Structure 1
Amino acid sequence: MKHLYKISGMTCDGCRSNIEKALNKIEGVTNTAVNLENAEATIEMKNHISIETFQKAISNKYTIQEKVSDFKVKKTITPPEHKESELKQLFPLFLIIGYITLASILINRTSFNFNSFMLDFMGLFYIVFSFFKLLDLKGFPDSFKMYDPLAKKIPIYSWLYPFIETALGLMILMRFQIKFALIVTIIILGLTTVGVVKILINKKSIQCACLGTALKLPMTKATFIENAIMLIMAFWMLLN
């Protein structure tokens, strides 16, 4: 028998892998396939197994909900619907960028200067995005190290990253050591972008860590958009 379940609390591919292993160890389960993007688990079992048994097998960090439907009646999502879903998922990112842009314009409304506008945008961008990462400092590192090359090799870097963003944001807003802050921006975001491109090429499904784990965003598109904006601005400011 194949049955479909909803699982909440997953933030990265590591979560997906851990849940699959835990559920496959349950007596009577023949196979488990967890879909991170849809937050679903397809479980094959010899006999009926209770929700309580599944919940006990996985960490309290995750929640497995009541069976949504039998595998036989599971609907197939068509490409147009899937595209619309991704756009909806990216909406919080675009909304936040819109607010940061508006705030930067208002700060420079009296005597508008494009370079000053970009610096304010970058500074606010860092502060806002670091805030979301700090909301779940325990969950962020697990998501971040799934694609950032440096975080994979040096785990403590993923814990320090939100604080680095905060420091860079304050430096840029206060116009302190601007050149140094821009160079660091290019280095750390350049490394992250390399990891993002690899994930994008391999078509892997990993949650974006740019806004922490508070908001579920498709990692490749959201992080690539975020990094591209900041890298272009950083290069522009250095050249000017």
Structure 2
Amino acid sequence: MKHTYHIQGMTCNGCRTSVEQKLSEVSGVTNVSVNLEKEEAIIQMQGHIDTATFQKALPEKYTISEKKTEKNVFASTGNGNDEDNIFSKAETEKSKLQQLKPLLIILGYIAIATVLLNYQRENWNSAMLDFMGLFFIVFSFFKILDLKGFPDSFRMYDPLAKIVPAYAWVYPFIETALGLMFLMRFEIPIALIATLIILGITTVGVTKILLDKKSIQCACLGTALKLPMTEATFIENTIMIVMAVVMLTRIL
């Protein structure tokens, strides 16, 4: 069941993230997507939830009212024809791929830059360090674009950021420091260990979100680009963790 609501009172990405988080915590809600520009929230729920319940979950500065109910024209009609389900699945996968397009393009550019920096070298051991350095620099840049909105998004799934709010504020700068350390080849063992720790913690949170089948915005590209929390986020972190482990075994 999917309903669209009008939200009044949102003024920034931090507001959008806060509203999205509060609505996601309402019992029976399976997915929440908040659009700041349109001032609306699309909520998927297991059963009917009245608007008053959502209003109670939000801070007083926000006002929520139902706009309309959306129906999936591709949903199964119950007549035993699986063709309807195929259309529905194809539409969902297409939407997810479109949402992940920014992430795939950025990772592609980082990979190309790494190849260009290392293609004339006989030893490609440093290629992984270049990739990790560029990865952290680029991803920290997108987080720093909205330092006000990023912490709220990050705290929605990172276990340490939930306990220590200040960690979410300094996290983009930690990534920047790690990126510079990898690119400048400065204290590489320390940078690798730090990478394992911070990405390991984040991966635990990402895994929990995926297992709970909740749909929230991933903060890996900050709030400037709307990226859903999917298996791609888990894979992205896992690749970096594997690289860090491989480089540590070679150095130590």
Partner in structure 1 of residue 99 of structure 2:
89
What is the identity, as a one-letter code, of the residue corresponding to 2:172?
A: P
Structure-to-structure mapping, 1:12-27, within 5 angstroms: 12=17, 14-18=18-22
TM-aligned CA deviation for residue 79 of structure 1: 2.1
Cα gap change, 1:35/1:193 in structure 2, threshold over 3 Å: closer, same or farther? closer
TM-aligned CA deviation for residue 109 of structure 1: 2.2
TM-aligned CA deviation for residue 208 of structure 1: 0.4
Do residues 149 (structure 1) and 159 (structure 2) align? yes
TM-aligned CA deviation for residue 57 of structure 1: 5.8
- What is the distance in 2 between the residues matched to 1:143 and 1:222? 17
- What is the distance in 2 between the residues matched to 1:101 and 1:86? 22
Gaps of 5+ in 1: 22-32, 46-55
- What is the distance in 2 between the residues matched to 1:137 and 1:81? 34
Q: Deviations over 1:32-51 (max 9, x none)?
A: x7952375346967xxxxxx
What is the DSSP-based 3-state SS (H/G/I as helix, E as strand, rest coil) of the residue aligned with 2:33?
Answer: coil
Match of 1:37 among 12, 21, 33: 33
Cα gap change, 1:81/1:3 in structure 2, threshold over 3 Å: closer, same or farther? closer
Structure-to-structure mapping, 1:64-213, within 5 angstroms: 70-71=68-69, 74-76=71-73, 78-213=88-223
What is the DSSP-based 3-state SS (H/G/I as helix, E as strand, rest coil) of the residue aligned with 1:37?
Answer: strand
Instruction: Compute the RMSD of aligned alpha carbons.
Output: 3.1
Match of 2:62 among 55, 58, 64: 58
What is the DSSP-based 3-state SS (H/G/I as helix, E as strand, rest coil) of the residue aligned with 1:203?
Answer: coil
What is the identity, as a one-letter code, of the residue corresponding to 2:62?
A: I
What is the DSSP-based 3-state SS (H/G/I as helix, E as strand, rest coil) of the residue aligned with 2:4?
Answer: strand
What is the DSSP-based 3-state SS (H/G/I as helix, E as strand, rest coil) of the residue aligned with 1:215?
Answer: coil
Conserved 8 A contact 1:89-1:217: yes
Q: Which moved more, 1:219-228 or 1:150-159?
A: 219-228
Q: Which moved more, 1:125-134 or 1:90-99?
A: 90-99
TM-aligned CA deviation for residue 150 of structure 1: 0.6
Partner in structure 2 of residue 53 of structure 1:
none
TM-aligned CA deviation for residue 142 of structure 1: 0.5
TM-aligned CA deviation for residue 221 of structure 1: 2.4
Cα gap change, 1:233/1:17 in structure 2, threshold over 3 Å: closer, same or farther? closer
Do residues 232 (structure 1) and 229 (structure 2) align? no
TM-aligned CA deviation for residue 80 of structure 1: 1.9
Conserved 8 A contact 2:24-2:31: no
What is the identity, as a one-letter code, of the residue corresponding to 2:33?
A: E
TM-score normalised by structure 1 residue count: 0.77
Conserved 8 A contact 2:100-2:227: yes
Cα gap change, 1:156/1:38 in structure 2, threshold over 3 Å: closer, same or farther? closer
- What is the distance in 1 between the residues matched to 2:202 and 2:218? 12
- What is the distance in 1 between the residues matched to 2:171 and 2:205? 15
What is the DSSP-based 3-state SS (H/G/I as helix, E as strand, rest coil) of the residue aligned with 1:85?
Answer: helix
Identity %: 59
- What is the distance in 1 between the residues matched to 2:219 and 2:120? 36
TM-aligned CA deviation for residue 76 of structure 1: 4.5
Cα gap change, 1:174/1:136 in structure 2, threshold over 3 Å: closer, same or farther? same
- What is the distance in 2 between the residues matched to 1:34 and 1:161? 28
